[in-house]
Amino acid sequence: MVGFLGKIKDTLKEITYGMALHSQVTGILKTRMYIEHLFTLMVLGDMLGFPVLPPYYSLRLLPYAIPNVQKWKHRFYRERDFTDIIYG
């Protein structure tokens, strides 16, 4: 009985989340991705030919940035069109 009630509770929680919060969380994560890319540009800009500062301290941060480098470069070089205005 407790298990059944627990399942109902979880389902209601997920429905509420989906209806009220999911789009908000997606928006937040999208903004967070933009900030992450900006951060990567500030640290590893010279990887794309934008020298920001001597890379001594950037190299110290490089190991942590590696998982995002590909996505960041892809997004940076991606062609833009009018749909970007709509979908960001």
Partner 1 sequence: MRGLGEYLDKFKETKMIIFAGKGGLGKTTCSAALAYYLAVKKGKKTLCFSTDPQASLSDIFERDLFGKGEVEVAPNLYVVEIDADKRIRDYIEDVKRKIKEMYKMEEIPQEIESYIETSAVEPAMYESATYDAMVEYLVSGKYDYYIFDMPPFGHGVRMIAMAEVLSAWVEKITEAREKAREYDEIAARLRGGSPLSEDAILKELYDIRSRLSYFRDIMLDRNKTGFFMVMTPENMSILDTEKALKMFNELGLTLSGIVVNQVLPPEMINNPSPLIARRAEVQQKYLSVIKDKFGKYIVSVIPMFDREPKGLKMLEKVASYLVENPLQI
Binding site for partner 1 (CB under 8 A): 13, 17, 21, 24-25, 28-29, 31-32, 35-36, 38-39, 42-44, 46-47, 52-66, 69
Give least dist CB 85 to partner 1, A: 22
Residues in Cβ contact with 73 at an 8 Å cutoff, skipping those fewer than 6 apart: 47, 48
| Closest among 43, 34, 37, 42 to 70, alpha carbons compared | 37
54 or 82: CB nearest partner 1: 54
52 or 81: CB nearest partner 1: 52
CA distance 7 to 22: 20
